[in-house]
Structure 1
Amino acid sequence: MVQANLVGVSITGSGSAQLSRALSNDQLSQIVDTSDEWIASRTGIRQRYIAETQQSLSHIAAEAGRQALAMAKLPPESVQLIILATSTPDDLFGSACQVQTLLGATHAVAFDLTAACSGFVFSLVTAAQYLRQGVYQNVLVIGADILSRWTDWSDRRTCILFGDGAGAVVMQASDVDGLLGFELCSDGRLNGCLKLSYQSEPLEIVEGIQGQQGTFQPITMNGREVYKFAVSRVPEVLEKALFRAGKTPRDIDWLVLHQANQRILDAVAERLEVPSERVVSNMACHGNTSAASIPLALDEVVRAGKVRPSDLIATAGFGAGLTWGAAIFEWAAGPA
């Protein structure tokens, strides 16, 4: 059992999967009417990584988790809970248990959490509740998506945006609480703006009883509405989370947003008056990796030696559902 005084949360390690197959804007221009200049000027994206045919979601998620555990110096068998944030599991029933097996985390409970591009922030907050209640001491939170599975490669409005990836953090019970504040939101009225929907056909099971069978359709998005939503709601939710944390935008050392569009990052930073050098952006290389984007971007700056212990990190995810949320935390690990 966790000691009674360990009621806080520390984030003690990060990791990410290394994918090797990049798809450039120039290559995309061979299949849709677009160009590197057109894509980069509107999104900030220059390329994205595509998982190899033999790479499963579970495998890249496990790779990210393995790196995070190594940084935290935590053996897999000490992990008590794994939360996998994903919208693209290998199995519709969930992939977290397969990740648990691949890691050798034999004592961990594991489950998937689906909140699309907000999934990592939602999972971070969910994990914190288990730690604060003393239920678990060591939790692995992974954000991973293989969006190339569900991209319509003939639709230039969406195929230019998405890439594959996985990132992870280790969260541990602590006598000092590093998760200072959060705010989570949902609005199903805006669901049609961004979705990966199921489409069915009637199926007569026996005479007089009809069921349905079908499959999920590729991603569809109303880019204009999603942009308007993000530049309005993301600064607002960050301000609420900062207020709960007793902090202001001036206290932010690193702003790590969901990597959806560089113009969104710029607009949010401008509204909060966060200097550009404090805004983490890796979308030029990775594109939009959904639930993976925040931990992937965080791990890059951590391993570059930029993030130091006690640095204040403000993060926000936003996307399908529509869902959005923010979390404010202090980095607890030493340099990678």
Structure 2
Amino acid sequence: MKKPNNNNGKPTSSTRIPAGVEQDGATVYKTGTYQMFWDCEYCNTPKLLGITHRFCPNCGAPQATEKRYFPKKGEEIALENHDYVGADQLCPACETANAAKAEFCQQCGSPLTEAARAKLVQDENQAKKPDSKKNNRLYWIIAGVLLLLIGGGVGIFWTKNVGLTLTAYSWERVIEIEDYRARNDNTWCDSVPTEAYSVSRKSEIRSYRDVPDGEACTARRVDQGDGTFRTEDVCKPKYKSEPIYADKCYYSIDRWQFSRSVTTQDRNHEPQWGAYQLKGNGGTCQGCEREGKRQAHYYLHLTDNGKKSYQCDVDEKQWQTVELKSQWKMSVGGILGEARCGTLQKLP
């Protein structure tokens, strides 16, 4: 079979023509129109052309639209100035393919008022099934993560109650001491504190912005249903990250800041704050000190029947009233046995 020599059987290069916008915002450009192939099911003649050969040139059989397929790369036959009017109509009487604008079947003369449209062929290169091995691997990864989450949830929420005996109590009190001196700091120069001194500037990256950087395009082939297919570029804008520079200021500033702590602790019922002496008598001078935050912790030490020990931090009022060898109950983790001190209760 001799095919017509349109551009030596090669696709022509053409200017991209805007053809619409996808739902995801991608711009579609039409890049060409080509003939679909079909194989005659009666005489097995292959690679017949969708437009040129509406009937088999060897046996005269009408073109079967369900036998159409996309040509392999390099075998495309381009069409110039093709007038596309829609997908072919299938005659309800003899199933012959007719042009979309035809009113009567070219084969048997039947009216085409109730004719169905030719089914479109999907490009196999664009409809490849996902790799089953990758799918299986992903399935097992997801299943493993779910099992870990379930196991972790069980470990977190599963608890058991234990009986406890109070064996000891202890306390700890901490006083933070701050000192006043020059600190090195930095910030963007549009927000430098007024108290800053010895200021120096340096240009640095403050943020980034996305700037256009061309397009990322993918090619696709679309069956038009009339014996032709069109090629399209589906393009999304690309962006690159561009740094935005600004001046950063490095400076010294006099500030109060944590310097040391005064800690007292013991295993009795007589908590007290530690003694200390401040430098500079509490004034504001280089090296002067002042009292900062105070923290206090009061601990109950308990043991279960298996001699496992637990420690719970409670408020001072409750801590002051407890007695050694008193009985308690508490929930602990069902797997690791960690204390849930929020559930600690004294038994009558």
Bin for the TM-score computed over the shorter chain: under 0.3
CA radius of gyration, larger in: 2
Q: TM-score, normalised by structure 1?
A: 0.22
Higher strand share: 2
Question: RCO greater where, 1 or 2, for CA within 8 Å and sep 6 or more?
Answer: 1
Higher helix share: 1
Q: TM-score, normalised by structure 2?
A: 0.22
